[in-house]
Amino acid sequence: MKKLAVGKPKPGWSNEECIILQEPQIFLYNQGHMTQTMHTGSLAVGQEYLAFISYRHADNTEEDQQWATWLHQQLEVYDVPDDLIGTTNLRGQTIPERIYPVFRDEVSLSADADLSTAITQALDQSRFLIVLCSPRAVQSRYVNEEILHFKRTGKQDQIMAALILGEPNASIDPSKSQDPEHAHTLECFPPALQYELTAEGQLDKTKPTEPIAANFRLPDGGKGITNPNVYKQQLLKKGRNKADAERLAHLYEEQINTARLKIIAGILGVPLERLTQRDKIHQLNKARAETRRFRKIAVSLAVLTLVALIAGGIAVAQWRRAENLLSQIQGNLGFMNFELREVLDHYVPQRERIKIMQQIDAVVKVLQQQGHSESVEMQRQIAVALMQKADQVLKNDKLNPAEALPLYQQAHNAFIKLSQLDPDNTLFQQNLSVSHNRIGDLQLRLGHTDAALKAYQDGLALAQTLTQRDSGNTQFQRDLSVFHERIGNLQLRLGNTDAALKAYQDRLPIAQTLSQRDPGNTDNQRDLSVSYYKLSRVYMAKKEFALARKHLENALTQLKNMQNNGSLATDDEQLIKGGEVELLKLPHAH
């Protein structure tokens, strides 16, 4: 089964919003012609991805050296400065709000395999190709064929090289010597990256090329490390003093940040110097605003920790007062799990978020040590806190996303236990449903499609039970709709069009019911348009163009109705124009 890593929603959305709105975001960005930023200039027809990451899969398996995963995340979460968004770049194209989506295949093809249809289609629908260069990549026929295919579609000037190990053109430059005993001296450019193509689409070895190259290698030529702190620890183990190790690690952090910006500048079509300067100003202003908010939050958390410690030591004679304090702590833990989460995500620097999560851990630890975690509601709050900690791990680009999985699993197990203790408590059941969704999303992000599909299917079964128990509960219906859509999206990406069609068909009546039940709810109305659109996509994949046209027309009708009654967001108005363009491109049924 293929494992495809997928994109994610806009930064700043809550996790609950991500459950509901992830695919509407793909409706916005996953079709190049659906928005202005994706079909201007010389962009190829039908383009979907801003970039395609080509790499040898063995280069993405070692801890702290998972460069494909790291780069994928860095591109999609990069916060484009406001003064650049919507302006015209050097290629005459409009600079988008985000570098999204980026395609990264997680399947390692066998040596004798041909590029799959899904891979070649993604290459055709990608604006840029980013090649992770290493001696391993040179040995991969798969990587070489991806480069050749991309060049043969006329986009050979839209290829960038990310150097993670080895020496560019070491095999063709007489001044460079390769030593098999030292990997950093070996060729890192696949042959297709070294030369231009002839008119017949073959490599012209009389015309070498010089692609844009971003250097992520260590200063000594070793394989790059995604986490500079790990590099510092390596230096310390080699005998460097602390000050020297910190200085070198800081310089390396600046190096990989510059390399990251070099690739981003290439994609956005702006000079590196301009982007570097604006990025520094942009990040400085954000940090100042975030720090002001953090100071207030830190004071509140310090008080909260003190209250927890006091509550644990109160004598039996003051039990009533202790219970009152513990009730306040429980409420404050609930506050931290929900209201505070939004503040953390929007206004607090990444490093400080980790400190706050550590303080939350301290509060939970005190409660557990003092025997005050026995109440069912407190157990639930602790489980939710584990979920929030996992969420913060995923938002920290210096941490391995896989570290969030055991946290989600702990929370998941806690919700299972709570659901068993009180089977009639639908809140516990819904929390368990959300944990299925979180685990599924993370497994998909890690490339484990089998595990992701199982999590979604388990969540779907639970959501179905909840809706059967209370068919009038709108949230239960929405959760059920989300799982149908998650399964449909995954099945479609894996090429299982029949399974995807069933999932989307199961979702549609739910979207229609929610839309009719609350006509004034903009999210419900928009979700219905997305439901129609998703069906049109799967019918396109099945080449059933009459049905694809029908559902795309339904999606457009829904959007126009929202526009007429004033409920369509300004940012969504371009969807109508993009959808009409899509409609014109659909072949007519014979």
Range of the domain at 35: 31-227
- CB proximity list for 24: less than 8 A, separation 6 or greater: 526, 527, 530
DSSP β-bridge partners for residue 179: 182
82, part of any domain = yes
Mean pLDDT of all residues in the chain? 78
Q: What is the dihedral of CA 167, 171, 173, 175, to 10 degrees?
A: 70
> Does 580 map to a domain?
no
3-state SS, residue 94: strand
Say which residue, 104 or 370, is predicted with more confidence: 104
Task: Decide the pairing of beta strands 49-54 and 126-133.
Answer: parallel
Report which DSSP code applies to 186.
S
pLDDT of residue 359: 65
- Collapsed DSSP state (helix, strand, coil) of residue 65: coil
Query: Is 40 part of any domain?
Result: yes
Task: Establish whether the linkage from the previous residue to 519 is cis, with ω within 30° of 0.
Answer: no
> In angstroms, rounded to a whole number, what is the distance separating the alpha carbons of residues 102 and 259?
18
Highest mean pLDDT out of 2-6, 336-340, 406-410: 406-410
DSSP character at residue 586: S
| Across 49-63, 174-188, 340-354, 565-579, least confident range | 340-354
Give me the CATH number covering residue 206. Answer: 3.40.50
Does the residue 222 lie in any domain? yes
- pLDDT of amino acid 31: 26
What is the predicted pLDDT for the residue at 578? 77
Q: What's the pLDDT at 546?
A: 93
| 52 found inside a domain | yes
Q: State the greatest distance between any 2 C-alpha atoms of the chain, in Å, as a whole number.
A: 91
Instruction: Using pLDDT thresholds of 50, 70 and 90, give the confidence band for residue 415.
Output: very high
The answer to whether residue 321 sits within a structural domain is: no
Give the pLDDT score at 452: 93
> How deeply is 363 buried, as exposed, middle or buried, from its count of CB atoms within 10 A (0-12, 13-18, 19+)?
buried
Task: Grade residue 456 by pLDDT with cuts at 50, 70 and 90.
Answer: very high
Which tokens in the block code for residue 142? 């798969």
Between residues 251 and 346, which one has the greater pLDDT? 251
* Three-state DSSP state, 126: strand
Give the chain's length. Answer: 590
Which is more confident, 466 or 325? 466
What's the rounded Cα separation, in Å, for the pair 61 and 284?
34
Map tokens 């041909």 to a residue.
114
Distance CA 149, CA 133 (A): 17
Angle between helices 426-445 and 449-469 (to 10 degrees): 160
The residues, any chain, with a CB within 8 Å of residue 160's CB and separated by 6 or more, are: 128, 129, 130, 131, 211, 212, 213, 214, 263, 266
Confidence at residue 293, expressed as pLDDT on a 0 to 100 scale: 54
- The structural domain count of the chain equals 1
Per the rule left: phi > 0, alpha: psi between -120 and 50, beta: everything else, 208 is: beta
Residue 25 within any structural domain of the chain = no
Beta-strand relationship, 212-215 and 203-208: unpaired
d(CA 11, CA 395): 9
Considering only 163-167, 168-172, 244-248, 341-345, which range has the smallest mean pLDDT? 341-345
Pick from 104-113, 298-307, 391-400, 411-420 the range whose average pLDDT is largest.
411-420
